[in-house]
Amino acid sequence: MNGEVRFGRMIPGEVVRRREVCPVAYLPVGALEWHGEHLPFGTDYLTVEHISERAAREIGGIAFPPLLYGDVRYYLHDSRSEWRDEYTKEMRIPHSYASAFPLEANEDKSGHTLPVAPDLESVREPLPFSSGEQYRCFVGIIAQTLLSIYLYGFKVIILLPGHGPNVGPCLQAEKLYAENAKRRQSFQPPAVTKTFFYIEVAKEIEPRLRKHWIHADKWESSIVMAAAPETVHLDRLPKEKKAIPPAYLGIPYLNEHTGYSEAHQELWENFDALDPRNANADYGKEHIDYAIKRLGEEVNAILQEIRKD
């Protein structure tokens, strides 16, 4: 079925025609996050926005605008202690901005509950400053968005997190939406929801991704090169081979000042292979194609179950 697939650009008749053929909505859940000098701040939404639009065209359904704001700032690379110097230098902002919601990773935990500078006097309606408050707020934003999409008549909603830490909030938002949909008789039956994390799917065809977490690496850079090529600037990466590309990985694997961790020498070959300077669009397209294939299998299985009822 040809035609527009982006909900924000469609008129009611177009929505109805596509929805009656395939009642599936795709919701990209992204973030605005620093990815070094070579990738855009919108990396984590551009990737899943591209996947959602391709899925709508090739599988069926409609792609909704991505969620960009409200995610937990403690989970952003902007706040990581090991890259804070480079980030604030690139952005020409005070160091205190990056450390306001500190993420200090180590072997055991992400450290996002580290104490921050105390707030001054309370206000009547305080913004969520703690990690727990921000997390709950973000879950609520996603759940409210699911309800909004359901009210446009969709029976299935696929959540597509593009930022690793957004998987948890997506899963919790599914539950929150379902619980609240049951509170009002007019919301019955609620939409079937499913969180599809394309990075996990990529591990099926790229074993290197199973060994450690990634960020601003060859894989992610290649995905963006395939999804939004005009936004990638590999020429901004360090020319010196031993120099670590800004925003690539982090503690416990490396530090912006000291390089790869001696404690993880068994992974150094993997780090070199996934260096963003090795990125290419063909590799990215291969992974996007595979994600669309696997997503299609998930969507078709859900639709078959719905049709049984």
What is the pTM for the complete model shown? 0.94
Banded pLDDT at 115 (limits 50, 70, 90): low
Q: Is residue 135 part of a domain?
A: yes
Q: Is residue 155 part of a domain?
A: yes
209-250, pLDDT tens digit by residue? Answer: 999 999 999 999 999 999 999 999 999 999 998 899 999 988
Q: What pLDDT does residue 99 have?
A: 84
Residue 308: other Cβ atoms inside 10 A: 6
Whether the per-residue pLDDT at 106 is higher than 60: the answer is: no
Arithmetic mean of pLDDT, 252-256 = 83
Q: What pLDDT does residue 70 have?
A: 93
Banded pLDDT at 79 (limits 50, 70, 90): confident
Q: Which two tokens stand for residue 15?
A: 């929505």
Average pLDDT, the chain: 92
**Tell me, what CATH number does 174's domain have?**
3.40.50.10310
The helix/strand/coil state of 25 is strand
Arithmetic mean of pLDDT, 75-93 = 89
**What distance in Å separates the CA atoms of residue 112 and residue 75, rounded to the nearest whole number?**
7
Arithmetic mean of pLDDT, 263-273 = 95
Contacts with 78 (C-beta within 8 Å, 6 or more apart), sequence order: 33, 34, 87, 98
Q: Is residue 54 part of a domain?
A: yes
Q: Is residue 33 part of a domain?
A: yes
With CA atoms as reference, report the closest residue to 156 among 11, 2, 22, 3.
22
Higher pLDDT, 258 or 248: 248
Q: What pLDDT does residue 187 have?
A: 81
Q: Cβ distance 202 to 219 under 8 Å?
A: yes
Q: What pLDDT does residue 113 have?
A: 52
Banded pLDDT at 118 (limits 50, 70, 90): low
Q: Is residue 97 part of a domain?
A: yes
3-19, pLDDT tens digit by residue? Answer: 999 999 999 999 999 99
**What distance in Å separates the CA atoms of residue 131 and residue 134, rounded to the nearest whole number?**
5
Q: Cβ distance 19 to 63 under 8 Å?
A: no
Q: Is residue 231 part of a domain?
A: no
Q: What pLDDT does residue 105 have?
A: 56
Rounded (5°) CA angle 22-28-30: 180
Q: What pLDDT does residue 110 have?
A: 45
**What distance in Å separates the CA atoms of residue 250 and residue 304, rounded to the nearest whole number?**
43
Please give the tally of structural domains in the chain: 1
Q: Is residue 253 part of a domain?
A: no
- The C-alpha R_g of the chain, in whole angstroms, comes to 20
Q: Cβ distance 7 to 15 under 8 Å?
A: yes
Q: What pLDDT does residue 252 have?
A: 84
Percentage helix, strand, coil for the chain under 3-state DSSP, each rounded to 5: 50, 10, 40
| Burial readout 170-197 (b: 16 or more C-beta within 10 A, e: otherwise) | bbbbbebbbeebeeeeebeebbbbbbbb
120-173, pLDDT tens digit by residue? Answer: 777 888 888 888 899 999 999 999 999 999 999 999 999 999 999 999 999 999
Q: What pLDDT does residue 114 have?
A: 56
Return the percentage of the chain with pLDDT > 70, whole number.
94
Banded pLDDT at 20 (limits 50, 70, 90): very high
Q: What pLDDT does residue 121 have?
A: 76
Range of the domain at 303: 7-116+127-209+289-308
Return the percentage of the chain with pLDDT > 90, whole number.
73
Banded pLDDT at 37 (limits 50, 70, 90): very high
Q: Is residue 256 part of a domain?
A: no
Residue 249 backbone dihedrals phi, psi, to 5 degrees = 55, -145
Rounded (5°) CA angle 49-86-74: 55
List 62's β-bridge partners, or say none.
Answer: 25
Q: What pLDDT does residue 108 have?
A: 42
Q: What pLDDT does residue 188 have?
A: 78
